[in-house]
Amino acid sequence: MAQFDRMTVYNTILQDGMTPLFYHADAEVAQKVVGALSAGGSHVVEFTNRGDFAIEVFSQLVKYCRVNHPTMIVGVGSVEDEATAALFAAHGANFIIGPTFNEAVARMCNRRKLPYIPGCGDLNTIASAEENGAEFVKVFPGAAAGGPGFIRAVLAPRPWSKIMPTGGVTPDEANLREWFGAGAACVGMGSQLVQSAWIKAGAFDQISELTASTLALIQRIRNA
């Protein structure tokens, strides 16, 4: 069962402006990554469902965070079907993110008041996702789907849409200014933030430092 209600999740994602995402097969390492993100000021993290036994790592991560990082909102990404969404929901997922939009997943999440952020690459899919209750949509892959120009074009006739680009987002100021300048509500950031070389080297403080500086930069850009 989710620890956080749907509106708390949405509002936290909006306030932070960034959803870090990562996958690691080792539960202990995953816990250290989330600890580093928390130390850097992030309040939300997406653990991607990309490896064998990912549910086991995720389950341990949720339990760990409830004790050690109780304000961290843990969700799951790379979910494409209802059965997988239900499995992760049963293990404490606070939100579900998918690379694609799936009506069955949307219905399941709506029944449980669980945030669902589907991946969309065109206007029709965005409209369908919103009709099925999606408060946010993920533009994925962000750069390949048209980059900031795509978001700007979508928001012209649909200014109520809340769009989170993922893929092609970096912690560089010029890149973030482009996305937020185009109207992105928030961004998703993976390997550019949670860098594999740092994980291998055990340099979790580097992840914390980059998280803190990126979150601060996003706030400066928004307030400008």
Tens digit of each residue's pLDDT (9 = 90 or more) over 47-101: 999 989 999 999 999 999 999 999 999 999 999 999 999 999 999 999 999 999 9
**d(Cα 76, Cα 189) in Å, to the nearest integer?**
14
Kindly indicate the confidence band of residue 31, based on its pLDDT and cuts at 50, 70 and 90: very high
Encoded tokens for 51: 């490896």
Backbone angles phi, psi at 188, to 5 degrees: -105, 135
Contacts of 43 (CB under 8 A, 6+ apart): 12, 15, 16, 71, 72, 73
147 belongs to a structural domain: no
Does residue 114 or residue 224 have the better pLDDT? 114
183 belongs to a structural domain: no
Contacts of 14 (CB under 8 A, 6+ apart): 162, 185, 186
**d(Cα 117, Cα 130) in Å, to the nearest integer?**
10
168 belongs to a structural domain: no
pLDDT at residue 144, rounded to an integer? 81
49 belongs to a structural domain: yes
Place of tokens 């008041």: 113
Tens digit of each residue's pLDDT (9 = 90 or more) over 92-137: 999 999 999 999 999 999 999 999 999 999 999 999 999 999 999 9
Encoded tokens for 36: 């580093």
CB 99 within 8 A of CB 80: yes
pLDDT at residue 44, rounded to an integer? 98
Tens digit of each residue's pLDDT (9 = 90 or more) over 131-178: 999 999 999 888 888 899 999 999 999 999 999 999 999 999 999 999
146 belongs to a structural domain: no
Q: Give the residue ranges of DSSP H helices in the chain.
A: 6-16, 27-39, 54-68, 82-90, 103-111, 123-131, 147-155, 173-181, 196-201, 204-223
**d(Cα 124, Cα 84) in Å, to the nearest integer?**
25
Place of tokens 């390997």: 191
Region 26-35 average pLDDT:
98
pLDDT at residue 143, rounded to an integer? 82
15 belongs to a structural domain: yes
Task: Give the three-class secondary structure for 147.
Answer: helix
165 belongs to a structural domain: no
150 belongs to a structural domain: no
8-state DSSP, 73: E
Q: What's the chain's Rg over C-alpha atoms?
A: 16
Encoded tokens for 200: 């291998």
Tens digit of each residue's pLDDT (9 = 90 or more) over 172-207: 999 999 999 999 999 999 999 999 999 999 999 999
8-state DSSP, 166: B
Read off the CATH number of the domain in which 99 is found. Answer: 3.20.20.70
Contacts of 81 (CB under 8 A, 6+ apart): 102, 104, 105
pLDDT at residue 140, rounded to an integer? 86
pLDDT at residue 108, rounded to an integer? 97
Per the structure, the count of domains in the chain is 1
Domain assignment of residue 91, given as a range? 6-139+189-223
